[in-house]
Amino acid sequence: MNDNEPELDDLILAAFKRAFADGRMDVAEHLLIALETVSGRPAGDEEAEIGLRVGAAYGMITKLGERPER
């Protein structure tokens, strides 16, 4: 991989955020599973950082339940 290319987990999280923002929860769910799968690989020093990405995704889902009804 080229040093200038984004990490796979960064790309998955970006796609998750886009699907979430577009209201495509069906797609967001699959991307969350992919993000969890990536976080399950042996990552050494990156493990905590990947865990933060999974946490960020779950945080977005949690906030969805807190949105006021329109």
Inside any domain, residue 52: yes
Question: Is there a domain that residue 16 lies in?
Answer: yes
What is the tally of structural domains in the chain? 1
Look at residue 37 and tell me if it is in a domain. yes
- In tens, the pLDDT along 22-37 reads 999 899 989 988 988 8
Compute the mean pLDDT over every residue in the chain, rounded to the nearest whole number: 78
Is the predicted pLDDT of residue 53 greater than 80, yes or no?
no
36 domain-assigned: yes
What integer pLDDT is reported at residue 27 of this predicted model?
93
**70 in a domain, yes or no?**
no
Phi/psi at 3 (5° precision): -65, -20
Please return the burial class of 15, using the count of CB atoms within 10 Å of its CB with bins 0-12, 13-18 and 19+: middle
pLDDT over 70 (residue 47) = no
Range of the domain at 28: 8-64
Instruction: Tell me the pTM.
Output: 0.64
What number is the average pLDDT over the span 49-67? 72
Residue 64 sits at the vertex; the CA angle it makes with 63 and 68, to the nearest 5 degrees, is: 95
